Chains A and B, each alone.
Chain A
């Protein structure tokens, strides 16, 4: 199996505050790979660096997507090459309807209807709803997943896909992620939840901006539960024992 994404020795700082330090990781094509870690370990930053958001392109190290070095590519070029991002808290768009938002990636009303049903939203109720604060965070999250499905990317980074989702719906979100993967999309899940991490094929534990452990999700999640949840060093590994 080939690597779709390779991160080699990535370091990134904001105002002399080191967020990622020599982070390396290979993501295999057509897998689900979770990035697990407590708050503030650099998980979201890693997602933004892969997507190439404006303030996250001045990095040390190399990013390869399908064997091409993409450090110099802006967000649009990366997206058009097949990378996309689902935000932890999706944007609020005043006025923009769900239909118009989803039409960014398809002209087919039938496809929009199908994908809304897939993410558990009634098309009759939601197609003309506006993507404003009238929608809950969970509803916006499902709509964002719908837009990812319609885009058909090669790689999607989902930042905390389970946050803001009620417990009953988490299983549905997991199913959607697995469906995405079955349709050929490589999925990176950024999460602090061992449960969410367990649906992955591979998992990486991130601590203090470094790749602490990569392996089977169960092993990584167990390590995370046993060590990180009770860890007092809070992203200062030099000051304590792992």
Chain B
């Protein structure tokens, strides 16, 4: 397949995952489009450096640096896919957000026309003091693909820095998903880890997210919303550890099951500093009957009503 065709397939799938095609083509926005390990497009805005550190047949290692005090007006768009290919794609990424820099990164992972894919993302993210990174990762998997997705992230949030992530997989099937995110927060640092996942068919969802609140007055929220429909199996493990003085942490997990779905939530809260406080809430159950009947009383069929409720929860 030629590169142009591959690019079109990736962009098409990028739009299905919630992206806007024009954002990839707009020169004001930073962008990186990778098919397999081939870089199809790269646009690096001023104040940012994006470097390919190494590359093999199935692995590509990239490093993104935002220079000190640079505040990016527009987000950087990254698109990783495997257009028409099967096999393994391993993305190793390093993010370094230097002092007082600010950036948002939208990553789209799409696998159009693929049959069998293993997609691994290993990220190390370092936010220096006073910096800010808003990271969104949206996936689109077609219903036909046999896919395994394994994102691992180690995130260090410096003094007074802010990090947020939002992992979204609502369109198409999930396949096998294993998320492993770990946060370490320094003094006055803040972070939010959010995940929104809609499991269908025989999807297998496993989330392991943790936050070590090492710094004084650091705070973190781990928030997950998962729908486990059909024969989906879902396990959420969230851990927050209150270590620093007056640190605050919270885990908030809601899982809806439908059909033969199975869901587990394992929140772990630990505190080893008497001024710290961490809390959790977890709710698992079927779709709320009153919500369902409200929509059905407006003439919406049960399946559509469930879709509206679940998608609302994941929005």
Interface residues of A (CB under 8 A from B): 51, 53-54, 75-76, 79-80, 84-85, 87, 90-97, 100, 104-105, 131, 144, 147, 151
In the complex, 6 of the A-B residue pairs with CB atoms within 8 angstroms, ordered by the A residue number, are A76-B296, A93-B291, A94-B312, A95-B225, A96-B315, A97-B312
A87 contact set on B, CB distance < 8 A: 290, 294
Known A54-B289, A91-B294; further 11 A-B contacts with Cβ < 8 A: A76-B299, A79-B300, A84-B297, A90-B294, A95-B311, A95-B312, A95-B315, A97-B312, A100-B308, A104-B295, A144-B294
Task: Give chain A nearest CB distance to B253 CB in angstroms.
Answer: 13
Instruction: Please give the number of chain B residues whose Cβ is less than 8 angstroms from any Cβ of chain A in the complex.
Output: 23
Given known pairs A54-B293, A91-B291, A93-B291, the reply for A151 and B315 (CB within 8 Å) is no
Contact B254 A94 (CB under 8 A): yes
**Does A79 contact B309, Cβ atoms closer than 8 Å?**
no
- Docked Cα-Cα span, A90 to B290, in Å, equals 8
Per-residue interface assignment for chain B, residues 41 to 71, with 1 indicating a CB less than 8 Å from any chain A CB and 0 otherwise? 0000000000000000000000000000000
Q: Which 7 A-B pairs have the closest CB atoms?
A: A96-B312, A95-B312, A79-B299, A95-B315, A91-B290, A91-B291, A91-B294
* B288 on interface, CB distance cutoff 8 Å: yes
B154 CB to nearest A CB, Å: 30
Complex Cα distance A90/B297, Å? Answer: 12
B312 to chain A, nearest CB (A): 3
How many contacts A-B (CB < 8 Å)?
Answer: 62
Most buried by B among A54, A85, A104, A151: A104
Take A75-B297, A79-B297, A94-B313 as given contacts and tell me if A104 and B308 are in contact as well, using a CB distance cutoff of 8 Å: yes
- How far is the CB of B206 from the nearest CB of chain A, in Å? 23
Give the complex CA separation of A151 and B289 in angstroms: 21
B285 within 8 A of A: no
User: Is B18 engaged at the interface, CB distance under 8 Å to the other chain?
Assistant: no
Nearest to B295 among chain A residues (CB) is A104
Task: Check if B314 is an interface residue, CB within 8 A of chain A.
Answer: yes
At the interface, yes or no: B298 with Cβ under 8 Å from chain A? yes
User: With A91-B291, A94-B313, A95-B313 in contact, is A75–B296 under 8 Å at CB?
Assistant: yes
Q: Which of B209-236 contact A (CB under 8 A)?
A: 225
Tell me whether A79 and B312 are in contact (CB under 8 A). Answer: no
B27 within 8 A of A: no
* B297 CB contact (under 8 Å) in A85, A93, A131: A85
Shortest CB distance B103–A (Å): 26
| Alpha-carbon separation in the docked complex, A96 to B313 (Å) | 7
Separation in Å of the A152 CB from the closest CB of chain B? 11
